[in-house]
Amino acid sequence: MEVAGAVRRLWSRPVALSLTLACAAAPLTLAQEARLFVSSRAGDRLTEKPAVRFAPAMSGPATFRLDPSVTHQTIVGFGASFLEAGMVCLNSLEPVQQEAVLRALFHPETGAGFSAMKTALAATDFMSAGPWYSYADAPGDVELKSFSIARDLGPNGLVTYIRRARRYGSFVLVAIDGILRRPKMPAEQAEKLVAAFRAPEYRENTRQGMGALFPVPGTEALRDRLVSELLATPQYVMVGAMEGMFGADQPDWDVKKATVPVVIINAPNPMWTDEYKDYVRSLSPNTDYHLIEGVGHWLMLEKPAEFNTALIGMLRKFGLIAE
Domains of the chain, residue spans: 77-169, 187-243
Lowest average pLDDT, out of 37-41, 54-58, 284-288, goes to 54-58
Q: pLDDT tens, 171-188?
A: 654 444 456 777 777 888
Tell whether the model's pLDDT for residue 309 goes beyond 50: yes
Output the pLDDT for position 22.
40
Output the pLDDT for position 315.
79
Output the pLDDT for position 142.
66
Tell whether the model's pLDDT for residue 144 goes beyond 60: yes
Q: Which band of pLDDT confidence, cut at 50, 70 and 90, is reported for residue 129? A: low
CB 176 within 8 A of CB 295: no
Output the pLDDT for position 119.
80
Give the SS3 label for residue 26.
helix
Output the pLDDT for position 171.
62
Output the pLDDT for position 199.
93
Output the pLDDT for position 174.
45
DSSP 3-state helix, strand, coil percentages of the chain (rounded to 5)? 40, 10, 50
List, as one string, the DSSP characters of 98-166.
Answer: HHHHHHHHH-TTTS------EE-SS--TT-TTSS---S--STT-TT-TT---TGGGSTT-HHHHHHHHH
Q: Which band of pLDDT confidence, cut at 50, 70 and 90, is reported for residue 127? A: low
Output the pLDDT for position 201.
94
Calculate mean pLDDT across residues 82-107.
90
As a whole-number percent, the residues of the chain with pLDDT over 70 amount to: 79
Tell whether the model's pLDDT for residue 43 goes beyond 60: yes
Q: Could you write out the three-class secondary structure of 207-255?
A: HHHHHCCCCCCCCHHHHHHHHHHHCCCCHHHHHHHHHHHHCCCCCCCCC
CB 157 within 8 A of CB 84: yes
Q: Determine how many CB atoms are found less than 10 A away from the CB of residue 238.
A: 20
Lowest average pLDDT, out of 161-170, 250-259, 271-280, goes to 250-259
Q: Could you write out the three-class secondary structure of 41-59?
A: CCCCCCEEEEEEECCCCCC
Calculate mean pLDDT across residues 220-224.
91
Output the pLDDT for position 15.
37
The mean of the pLDDT values for the chain is 78
Between 179 and 297, the higher pLDDT residue: 297
Calculate mean pLDDT across residues 19-38.
59
Calculate mean pLDDT across residues 56-70.
78
Output the pLDDT for position 45.
77
